[in-house]
């Protein structure tokens, strides 16, 4: 039985989107915070369409969209240090203390204006953006994996496990499939297909399909963090 922990259970961090952040960092078809501030001459039809789009999204997807420009600011301003802000159990920071401190202290200007998100969402999107920026060359299915190194990373899958264990396993044995997932648009059909392909193609991790009790947006956040951690384990 999969026990959901870490992702979605972190304390909410009120964080706001920087006015200078590029909308291009947000996946297409996703509500962005800028939609709340349309010019007064914007057509009513467009505003209606934007509100309708947001109403059709899950809370997790809205949090993801709000987190995207915040993460973009952290990538831009944090540069080589941005990876140190990542939180969650796999990063040894289950309470997301590092990203909270970054957004309330040195990088507080990355948290201005009007869009609230959560620390876990921002951290997950940050991991995705760092991976995409680095554009690693990864095999869909890893070869020559040391069993000792693998289990030292994600633990034991016998008995009761957390999703962090599963995500770590998937990142180790199917790194390219995880990377393909984080390149998809949030909530898209491509995301659904990538998740299904990931689980189905990773028999070592003992799950043949995505866990229904964990939102796909939360799954990809944990998976992105796991992949970042695994590919930087020697750094």
pLDDT in tens, 122-140: 999 999 999 999 998 999 9
pLDDT of amino acid 14: 33
pLDDT in tens, 48-95: 444 444 445 566 677 787 788 899 999 999 888 899 999 999 899 999
pLDDT mean across residues, the chain: 77
Strand blocks (E) in 80-216: 161-162
Q: 212 is written with which tokens?
A: 């229904």
pLDDT for residue 99 is more than 70 = yes
pLDDT for residue 37 is more than 70 = no
pLDDT for residue 156 is more than 90 = no
% of residues, the chain, pLDDT over 90: 50
| Range 33-60 average pLDDT | 47
Contact 123, 84 (CB under 8 A): no
Contact 222, 7 (CB under 8 A): yes
pLDDT for residue 163 is more than 90 = yes
pLDDT of amino acid 76: 92
pLDDT for residue 33 is more than 90 = no
Q: What global pTM score does this model have?
A: 0.73
pLDDT for residue 169 is more than 90 = yes
Q: 220 is written with which tokens?
A: 């990809």
Question: DSSP characters for 163-189?
Answer: HHHHHHHHHHH-HHHHHHHHTSPTTSH
Helix (H) or strand (E) holding 2: strand 2-3
pLDDT of amino acid 60: 67
Contact 11, 119 (CB under 8 A): yes
Least trusted range by pLDDT, from 52-61, 85-94, 161-170, 209-218: 52-61
Strand partners, 88: 93
């Amino acid at each position: 039985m999969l026990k959901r922990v870490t992702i979605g259970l972190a304390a909410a961090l009120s964080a706001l989107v920087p006015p200078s952040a590029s909308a291009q960092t947000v996946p297409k078809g996703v509500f962005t915070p800028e939609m709340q501030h349309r010019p007064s001459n914007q057509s009513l039809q467009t505003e209606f369409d934007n509100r309708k789009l947001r109403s059709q999204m899950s809370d997790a997807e809205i949090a993801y969209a709000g987190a995207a420009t915040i993460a973009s600011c952290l990538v831009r301003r944090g540069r080589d240090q941005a990876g140190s802000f990542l939180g969650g159990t796999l990063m040894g920071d289950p309470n997301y203390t590092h990203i909270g401190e970054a957004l309330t202290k040195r990088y507080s200007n990355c948290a201005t204006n009007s869009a609230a998100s959560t620390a876990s969402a921002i951290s997950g999107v940050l991991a995705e953006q760092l991976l995409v920026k680095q554009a690693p060359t990864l095999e869909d299915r890893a070869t020559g994996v040391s069993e000792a190194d693998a289990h030292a990373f994600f633990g034991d899958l016998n008995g009761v496990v957390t999703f962090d264990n599963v995500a770590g396993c998937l990142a180790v044995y199917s790194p390219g499939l995880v990377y393909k997932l984080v390149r998809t648009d949030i909530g898209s059909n491509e995301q659904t297909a990538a998740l299904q392909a990931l689980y189905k193609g990773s028999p070592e991790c003992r799950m043949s399909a995505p866990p229904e009790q964990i939102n796909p947006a939360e799954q990809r956040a944990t998976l992105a963090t796991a992949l970042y951690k695994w590919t930087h384990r020697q750094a």
